[in-house]
Amino acid sequence: MKNEHTKVTESSIDIQKVQQDLEPIINNVTERKLPLRAYQILRLAIRNLKLLPGKTILEREIAEVLGMSRTPVREALIRLQTEGVVKLIPRKGFEIEPIEAKDLREIYEVVEMLEGLAAKLSTNTLSEEELFELETLIEQQEIATNENNLEEWARLDNLFHFKIINAAENERLSNVIDVHADQLYRARLITINKRPLPFQSIVEHRAIVACMRAKDGDGAQVSMQSHRKRARNEILKAL
Smallest distance, Zn ion to C-beta of residue 124, A: 21
Q: Which is nearer to Zn ion, 26 or 162 (CB)?
A: 162
142 in contact with Zn ion (CB under 5 A): no
Q: Which of 157, 181, 188, 211 binds Zn ion (CB under 5 A)?
A: 157
Closest distance of CB 160 from Zn ion, Å: 6
Q: Which of residues 190-209 bind Zn ion (CB under 5 A)?
A: 201
Shortest approach of Zn ion to residue 139 CB, angstroms? 14
53: closest CA among 25, 91, 108, 94? 94
Q: Is residue 167 within 8 Å of 126, Cβ to Cβ? A: yes
Shortest reach from residue 216's CB to Zn ion, in Å: 19
What are the backbone angles phi and psi of residue 164, rounded to the nearest 5°?
A: -70, -45
Task: Give the helix ranges, DSSP H, for the chain.
Answer: 2-11, 15-28, 34-47, 59-66, 70-82, 101-125, 128-146, 150-167, 171-191, 199-213, 217-238
Phi, psi of 50, deg, nearest 5: -80, -25
Closer to Zn ion by Cβ: residue 201 or 223 = 201
Nearer to Zn ion, 48 or 225 (CB): 225
Q: Which residues bind Zn ion (CB under 5 A)?
A: 157, 201
